[in-house]
Each structure stands twice: as structure tokens, then as C-alpha cells.
Amino acid sequence: MGGAFLAAAVLARLGGRIGLPTIPLFILAGILLGPHTPGYTLLSNPHDLEMLSALGLVLLLFYLGLEFHMDDLKTGGRKMAIAGGTYLVLNVGAGLIFGFALGWGTSEALVLAGVLGISSSAIVTKILVDLGRIGHPETRPILGIIVVEDIFLALYLAALQPILSGADSLSAALTDGGKAFGFLLLLALAARFGTKLIGKLMNTKDDELLVISFLGVAVFIAGVSEMFGVADAIGAFMVGLMLGSTSSGDRILKLVHPLRDAFGAIFFFAFGLSIDPGDLPSVLWPVVAAVLLTLAMNIAAGLAAARVYSFGAQATSNIATTLVARGEFALILATMAAAAGLDERLSPFIAGYVLLLAVLAPLAAGRSHWLARILPGGREKDGHQDQDQVPVSV
């Protein structure tokens, strides 16, 4: 684990000197020191970091929940649903059509619909933090789209699992989906009506006790979420949503920050360990086509979200480029596909697709002003900061 931290830190420091984002460098460190690359192997089994990687994802989404206050859901629920629904229709629909076009099979097309359609909450969160955009007005629809995606994903995974495993009936799929939805509803009700009680239980002046308390709650609920067929990251997000609205919310946000950074790095490093570069050439052209399709659909979704929120060109570009990343949920689908014995080309395709977008997304988000110049209204403010980039009180 020490070697993983040091390798990620060294590469990130070197990359920082030339302006590269940290996310792809953490992933590259995992690839270079993993079992699939010639040379020294730090970890021969990527599963050795599985628990630490899961903790990194939980903390990333917990932090996101802390930033996404309940007031945002109360005041922007309708717009959030429209923006998120539009994003899903465009991206999941395009992914499904792309999957059938490849001709690998119906189950494979359903997997690809999820892979191409769902953004990486972890990478999107890291991009927003790294670029200092948490307080920008366009961040609200970005986080809203992620919330809608995560809710959709929980139900999608529950419905897809029996299909991939050859479930014997539709009732089994409906039962699993019902369990997942019921648990999500329970968490939502707790976030909506139990904030005062939770705040009293968490309240303490001792930082040590507060850290232990919020870590215990976040990780425990994440584990229980998995038992009900809901992604652990979603459970952690909901806990962050609850605690962020309490009187201790600001202190928790400050205390979780270094934990999020440290274990988030391990998450991306572990992702790199799972990638075999030798498998990538066989699916190169499908990966390139999928990346171009994703970029086009994200621009279209960004334009749609910007229209809902009446944003200008720069904010539109920020939305489109920030949500491009694909990551942890695509890997979940890859694992499910491999366990179900689907087409063997799926795993290297997903790995190549996710890695390429993990590199492109932070670079594109950091240079979103290039896209803004060619969007409607963008040339009017060419050379100047778009007013939508300036943090405002909404």
C-alpha cells in the first residue's frame, strides 16, 4: 500500500510540472506497476487493494453528498430530473444502439448501454474539486445529473443482473429491483425528514470522535446498501447528503478532505492494476468510435441542460466536458459481464474506453473554453471569462 501511495505521488508530481491532471496519472501508476505490464510488479493480484479501493470510492461519493445540500434537491428537483433524464436518454440510448451495431449480442448491447451511458461519479467529483468549480452555478446541474444517473444505475444493475445470470423469471428481476428501490426510498426519507435527529446524534466538539462517527456511518450504510442491491457509493452519497445539512456539516467537510484525497488515489491506482494493455489493440477502433460518440452525446446533453438552466456557452461547455468521464460503474458492468461469460471482447473494450476517457475528461474539462468558443453565443465572449464561470449565490 505504501508503494501504491508513493508511485501515485511521484507520477502526480511529475505530471503536475507539465500541467497534467492527477486522475490519469494515478491510473497510469497502477498500469505500470501491475501484473499485466513488463518490469517490476508491485501487486500481482489487484484484489489485494479491493477494500481500500472501495473505501476510496465511498469517501469520494460521501464528500460529493456533503457538497450537494438538501436545499439543492428541494429547489431544483424538477430541473434536475429533466436535465438528468435528458442526459440518460441521449447517452444510454446511444450506447444501446452502438452495442447492437457492434453485433456482439443482446446481453452485450445492454451492458454497453450502461457503460457508455453512465458518468463516473468519482472522476467527475475529482475534476470539480481539482478545478475549483464546486461553487460554480453549473455545478448544480452536473451534480443533479450524477444523482439521477446513480438512482438509474441502482435500478439498472438490479434489472440487468438476472438477465446476465439467466434468471428464471421476470418476477426475480422485479423483486431485486423492488428491494433496491425500497432501500433508496428509505435513505431518501431519512435524508428528508431525519436531519435534525441525525445532527443531534453526530454532534460533538471532539474532532476525533466526529471523524470516527461519520466514517462509521458512511461505511456502514455503504455496506448495507450493497446487501440491498444498491451500489455502495450511492449509500455513501446519501449519508453525505444527510450529514451535510446538519450543524456539523462544515466540520465534517473539512475533516474528510485528506481522507478523500488519500483513499481516492488508491481507488484510481487499483483501477490501473486491473487493466491489461496487451488486450487493447484488438478493440482499438470500437473504442475510438465509442469515445467519439460519447463526446458528441455529452455536448448535446450539455446544450440541453444549459437550456433548462438558461446558462451561457462557457457553463454549457463545463457541463459537457466534466460529465464525459466513465469509470467505476463501467468496471462493475465489466465484472458482471465476465462472470456471465459474455463476449470476451467486452472486458478489453471497457478497459480501453474507460482509460481513454479518464485521460481525456480532466484535460477537456480544464480546457472547456476551447469548446465554448464554437458553441452558440461563445464567440461573443471569446477571450474573456464567461460570467457563468463566476461563483454566485443561487
DSSP structural state of residue 381: G
User: Is residue 266 within 8 Å of residue 5, measured between CB atoms?
Assistant: yes
Mean pLDDT per block of 10 residues along the chain (394 residues) reads 89 78 81 87 84 87 76 68 91 94 90 91 82 84 83 73 61 69 80 80 89 94 84 81 85 91 87 81 91 94 88 90 85 77 85 85 88 76 45 40
Max CA distance (Å), the chain: 60
C-alpha cell at 271: 483501477
The pLDDT of residue 96 is: 95
Q: Which amino acid is at 308?
A: V
CB neighbours (10 Å) of residue 291?
18
The pLDDT of residue 394 is: 35
CA atoms 372, 60, 184, 115: torsion sign = positive
CA atoms of 263 and 77, how far apart (whole Å): 31
SS3 for 36-96 is CCCCCCCCCCHHHHHHHHHHHHHHHHHHHHHHCCHHHHHHHHHHHHHHHHHHHHHHHHHHH
Q: What are phi and psi of 329, to 5 degrees?
A: -75, -30
C-alpha cell at 260: 478523500
Contacts of 116 (CB under 8 A, 6+ apart): 91, 92, 94, 95, 98, 99, 290, 293, 294, 326, 353
CA atoms of 58 and 267, how far apart (whole Å): 10
Distances (CA, A) of 212 to 253, 256, 263: 14, 11, 16
CA atoms of 379 and 71, how far apart (whole Å): 34
Contacts of 238 (CB under 8 A, 6+ apart): 65, 184, 187, 188, 190, 191, 221
CA atoms of 81 and 88, how far apart (whole Å): 10
The pLDDT of residue 76 is: 63
CB neighbours (10 Å) of residue 39?
6
Residue 1, SS3 per DSSP:
coil
CA atoms of 361 and 343, how far apart (whole Å): 27
- CB-based burial, 218-231: b 16+ in 10 Å, e otherwise: bbebbeebeebbbb
**Polymer length of the chain:** 394
CA atoms of 232 and 58, how far apart (whole Å): 7
The pLDDT of residue 212 is: 94
